[in-house]
Structure 1
């Protein structure tokens, strides 16, 4: 009997005094007008310029959390404040269930959400599946000495942007990852260091300014964008500038990592970054009851995905790895890849075939995910010692694409983040027939330059349409060579033909009457549309 009683006391003690993670949300921001009247107290001049350029007004979301509220929570019995988010007007706290629930009595508290869903809600870091090895030099016919990294750039037709000197200059990318050792010492990053393109960073996990530490996953990620070693590795955005933020604790999986990510995203926003790239994903956590379920992957449930959506609403493009769970019992994308506006990147191999590990869609609310694909199998990277090798995972297809986005935005500096995102989707090879393995497909960044030549784009014509026998594809350009593909309404590829300005005709005589889709791809223009066969 004594043993049973002792067991009960032990169990009762564990339940009552175990430390829990929770988010505490506040009702308002009493000092909001003071900050809205003085925007420079919230955002840097570059951040304000980004907002102005995209006609995004300041609002309550931009205002910091009320300091008095934070102070009262900090002084509450048994409560530790681990992170904060002005965007969500919330603190990430830790304490016993009893002490946390007691905070609900404070008049300014709106609600409390426990990370442990059994008490009232989230992941597994996308495994980078690192495999470093040497590979044979890839022979290329381009001007840049891409070396082995040529394929991951050419697949996206990114060399067209690079050859026109769009290499990311003037754009700022924030990398949110697990660590960046060697970025200050390894040769492939010397170009970034010598040109002061590492603008700063922070270790949110350990709360210090030493970000050249931690797991080297972030180092590998950065190398796909900013790395430069002639004839071996050229990143997709070698002339962009970077902030490096550690938000992932590589030793464990806990909900605090989502909160640290949002905190870092807010910092990135305040510094005026253009792009956030993150090769982290959350689905499972170490502690029972805290993991997400597929039903949470609706773009509006998890803390991190809500933060990612707000980042996009501030004019930032957010790029996220789809995840490496494609071969598991739960193959769907995690958070923040499920967010509506996030550009979620899956992985293909060098021949454009989906990598078996690449997580799939749809999101729980049945949206297309991933959004696009890039090379994540055999991606060329640099490790912290400067060794050039390959690595596998959507952890690497994501930054490969993020770097190209920086180059594209450099080419179109007046475009909004929404417009750039749409350009990328429309340039992709499955845009008219997306699915939940490839999304909209592989973007063609060279083709996006067709948007720049408005005379060509505005005078593009397909006639006659409706058509009975022959369709002509015409653009006002003296010489062009283009690929035209005709699809059925079910997405089946029916006709594929190369046409030129001398022979711009395509026969549709053998098609049944009805509606069809087409894609037109030349070096200067990418167009999609409909054809009606009479």
Structure 2
């Protein structure tokens, strides 16, 4: 009888243990009930956020709230008395990730301040570990697109010519590792100028300058500088390097690590996050995402990306490289609606086959696309070309830093809206390349004109017309939704082009005309707007 009782107790404990969940081998997520006894206060945010982070919130009109308060340190200390080790925590979602054995977890689960422990994900056998970035990093020495060409494709060179290279903007790069970054010639200007603000490894207890080169390659597109050989898109910006991804293995715990990485970036006042990471399936198959998860509010990493945006950070992520795979939709956090998801095109503007697409009900993911197809990047002082949305995302993120420098008083939402509105297909779009290829010169004009809403908001107004390359763009305000015909004439009165558009109400409408003006056409043209609320003409110089 005693043997039977012992077996019964053993089986009971075994069932209890199996109900608990590891998010990675020996790692668990512990959720807390409250922050009621925290020694911190939202009235003294300088105790847990830097002044730069507070200034960013103030600029955007964002209040400090309970999600900013640190996890109660008494709770963390109590967790560690069991023998568990807290490796990182989340203030936003009030959890801690710990390394522990299953017996310690049973003790932790009984604490009154613990609301739950991560749910069970059954261990299953999985294939030999593989490098998830292998195809992207399978690069060749540069023989295709140059850094000038990919930057010119998004028209950020116009901002460079005006002296805008991201000065004063702080970019956090969340990635898989930055091997060689500290010794590479192309990054030494950051150390010399004091613009490498901080580094952190959330993934492991080791240096960020080991384990993987993916983050190094991604960063080079933004801040690599070899003079005339290669110059990144935002070489004057400040940088924070954070490792959240292990690279060799794939567990859902990496999504929780990303949360901690984003919170660290927020606390240091990052203006922009670029994260060329995405998640769909894992080494433990019960952790896999499904298409139903792609709603922007299910995956913890997507919720965190949205939270970062709500804190005033402009978040960029790669769409993913699954366009030719069974799962060809975007990964998480690329499904989050507020952040900018970047797809890939080649240097001719054609969608890259590998670039993941949006779900039919998403409007639109990706948001915009840029060259990630045979895209140039730096490695140890040499220019290489590789393919992946990991390379198109930092290109657009770096260009956004240049754009933000032109209008530092704008919010992250205003910068994001201008980038979308500048794209080649806007206001239409598709699930292949989103709104198309962004035009950062046009985005700058949109921001410059966005404050020009007439003092009388009930009055329609043709605000401006200007040339971007060989195309013409207009800024038009309308108090109501309104149809208008745009007609172009030369100075002899000959009609050159006509286009009908629908103006959106109570906003400045950016309109890119679907016509390429050539050198042989007159230097001066007349642009006429005619509709129920308009009959106005402006002269525009083409060249």
Fold conserved between structures, TM > 0.5: yes
Partner of 2:158: 160
SS in 1 for 2:139: coil
CA gap 1:500/1:179 in 2 versus in 1, 3 angstroms: farther
Distance 1:498 1:390 in 2: 42
CA gap 1:68/1:171 in 2 versus in 1, 3 angstroms: same
How far 1:270 sits from its partner (Å)? 0.6
Deviates more, 1:186-195 or 1:474-483: 474-483
Partner of 2:29: 23
Check if 1:344 corresponds to 2:341: yes
Check if 1:52 corresponds to 2:64: no
How far 1:399 sits from its partner (Å)? 0.4
SS in 1 for 2:444: helix
How far 1:339 sits from its partner (Å)? 1.2
Partner of 1:202: 200
Equivalent of residue 373 in structure 2, options 360, 374, 377: 377
Matches within 5 A, 1:191-340: 191-208=189-206, 210-340=207-337
How far 1:420 sits from its partner (Å)? 0.6
CA gap 1:165/1:19 in 2 versus in 1, 3 angstroms: same
CA gap 1:37/1:342 in 2 versus in 1, 3 angstroms: same
**CA contact 1:450–1:457 (8 Å) conserved in 2:** no
How far 1:516 sits from its partner (Å)? 9.6
Check if 1:149 corresponds to 2:147: yes
**CA contact 1:261–1:304 (8 Å) conserved in 2:** yes
Q: Deviations over 1:29-73 (max 9, x none)?
A: 114574212211110111111111111110001000011222222
CA gap 1:421/1:181 in 2 versus in 1, 3 angstroms: same
**CA contact 2:21–2:121 (8 Å) conserved in 1:** no
How far 1:303 sits from its partner (Å)? 1.2
**CA contact 1:115–1:290 (8 Å) conserved in 2:** no
Partner of 1:428: 423
Distance 2:175 2:102 in 1: 31
Deviates more, 1:18-27 or 1:176-185: 18-27
How far 1:520 sits from its partner (Å)? 3.5
Partner of 2:403: 408
CA gap 1:516/1:14 in 2 versus in 1, 3 angstroms: same
CA gap 1:421/1:19 in 2 versus in 1, 3 angstroms: closer
Equivalent of residue 388 in structure 1, options 357, 380, 383: 383
CA gap 1:290/1:54 in 2 versus in 1, 3 angstroms: same
How far 1:276 sits from its partner (Å)? 0.6
**CA contact 1:19–1:94 (8 Å) conserved in 2:** no
How far 1:125 sits from its partner (Å)? 5.3
How far 1:292 sits from its partner (Å)? 1.3
CA gap 1:452/1:424 in 2 versus in 1, 3 angstroms: closer
Matches within 5 A, 1:491-502: none
Equivalent of residue 35 in structure 1, options 41, 51, 59: 41
Distance 1:457 1:520 in 2: 21
CA gap 1:396/1:499 in 2 versus in 1, 3 angstroms: farther
CA gap 1:476/1:221 in 2 versus in 1, 3 angstroms: closer
**CA contact 2:38–2:73 (8 Å) conserved in 1:** no
SS in 2 for 1:276: strand
What are structure 1's unaligned runs of at least 5 residues? 1-8, 139-147, 460-464, 466-472, 486-494
How far 1:194 sits from its partner (Å)? 2.3
How far 1:501 sits from its partner (Å)? 7.8
Distance 1:389 1:400 in 2: 15
Distance 1:455 1:267 in 2: 32
Distance 2:79 2:188 in 1: 45
Distance 2:335 2:450 in 1: 37
Partner of 2:513: 520
SS in 2 for 1:228: coil
Equivalent of residue 134 in structure 1, options 138, 141, 151: 141
How far 1:283 sits from its partner (Å)? 1.0
Distance 2:16 2:530 in 1: 62
Partner of 2:435: 440
SS in 1 for 2:280: coil
SS in 1 for 2:376: strand
Deviates more, 1:352-361 or 1:182-191: 182-191
SS in 1 for 2:326: coil
Partner of 1:114: 119
CA gap 1:503/1:100 in 2 versus in 1, 3 angstroms: farther
Distance 2:425 2:113 in 1: 49
CA gap 1:501/1:37 in 2 versus in 1, 3 angstroms: farther
CA gap 1:100/1:455 in 2 versus in 1, 3 angstroms: closer
Distance 1:236 1:379 in 2: 13
**CA contact 1:516–1:531 (8 Å) conserved in 2:** no
Distance 2:42 2:450 in 1: 42
**CA contact 2:274–2:397 (8 Å) conserved in 1:** yes
Deviates more, 1:499-508 or 1:448-457: 499-508
How far 1:496 sits from its partner (Å)? 12
**CA contact 1:424–1:448 (8 Å) conserved in 2:** yes
Partner of 1:5: none
Q: Deviations over 1:235-291 (max 9, x none)?
A: 110111101111111221112211111111111111111001001111111113111
Partner of 1:169: 167
TM-score, normalised with respect to structure 1: 0.80
SS in 2 for 1:265: helix
**CA contact 2:466–2:472 (8 Å) conserved in 1:** no
Q: Deviations over 1:312-339 (max 9, x none)?
A: 1111011001000010111111111111
How far 1:104 sits from its partner (Å)? 4.2
